[in-house]
Amino acid sequence: MNAEEIKTGLETTILGRAIHCLDSVDSTNRYARNMAEGGAPDGTVILAEEQTRGRGRLDRSWHSPPGLGLWLSIILRPEIAPAAAPGLSLVTGLALAKTIEEQLNIAAKLKWPNDCLLGGKKTAGILIDLAASAELVRYVVVGVGINVLHNPDDFPPELQKMATSLSQAAARPVDRALFLTGFLAGLEREYFRFIKEGLAPFIKPYTRRCSLIGCHVEALVGRRLVTGKAVGIDPSGALVIADGENEIVLTAGEVTRVRQ
């Protein structure tokens, strides 16, 4: 993929207007943070064919082999309070799920806070890095990793049972550039709406796609293991877990589905 090919199909005003395509980089999020510190404009996209030290949430690594995925980071400079920034992660997940449904015609689920699942297996993840002063966001780097062209044995053995790719789920090859331009256009629409209206319009559609709602789950809150039923997403984007009379509101962390 190269910048010209991507720009040709791009129907956005800011996202991807500046785009940097790299053959190999340690992590596009780290690269994007450096660019943001250097003044890169709102909407700049960094895309890599391969990451040698791709990062996931909770300090995990993200498997990013050459040519098989979309490994990208988007620099955003929204005028919002730092506390609102995690909402961008839900907004991005929703834009991704909608792009999958529109382009591939398969149902995509979102595992709170931001994993995208096809047929119960993880296809994409989102990692938000935030730079802010006490009151205002300086910039947000939205990192998105999408498995696109992997066959099952392209994943390391420990991931094979739980990971999939767009082409595997759709049972046909997927054009990475085409998917990317569609995703950036969809994300820009949702992003502009988020800036104008906040997270409120996203709660219902997100809840509808959330794989955890109605299921018995367990989650680590600090060192405490919480169990209960995932009953909803609150207006701030937090997951609400009911345990008998008590409701626990989870703003971050890892949640596992125990049973339906």
Q: Which residues bind ligand BTN (CB under 6 A)?
A: 27-29, 51, 54-57, 60, 62, 64, 71-73, 115, 125-127, 143-145
With H, G, I as helix, E, B as strand and everything else as coil, classify residue 187.
helix
Please report how close the Cβ of residue 61 comes to ligand BTN at its closest, in angstroms: 9
Residue type, 138: R
Give Cα 87 to chain centroid, integer Å.
Answer: 11
- Is the CB of 20 or the CB of 57 nearer to ligand BTN? 57
Burial class (CB in 10 A: 0-12, 13-18, 19+), 108: buried
- Is the CB of 12 or the CB of 29 nearer to ligand BTN? 29
Please report how close the Cβ of residue 52 comes to ligand BTN at its closest, in angstroms: 10
- Euclidean distance between CA atoms 16 and 191, whole angstroms: 13
Say which residue the tokens 């990192």 belong to: 143
- Is the CB of 156 or the CB of 235 nearer to ligand BTN? 156
Give the Cα-Cα-Cα angle 115, 116, 122 (nearest 5 degrees): 85
Listed residue (191, 88, 100) closest to 132, CA to CA: 88
Please report how close the Cβ of residue 256 comes to ligand BTN at its closest, in angstroms: 14
Q: For residue 64, what are the β-bridge partners?
A: none
- Is the CB of 72 or the CB of 76 nearer to ligand BTN? 72
Say which residue the tokens 């699942």 belong to: 117
Question: What is the number of the residue whose Cβ is closest to ligand BTN?
Answer: 125
- Is the CB of 228 or the CB of 250 nearer to ligand BTN? 250
Give the Cα-Cα-Cα angle 189, 145, 3 (nearest 5 degrees): 70
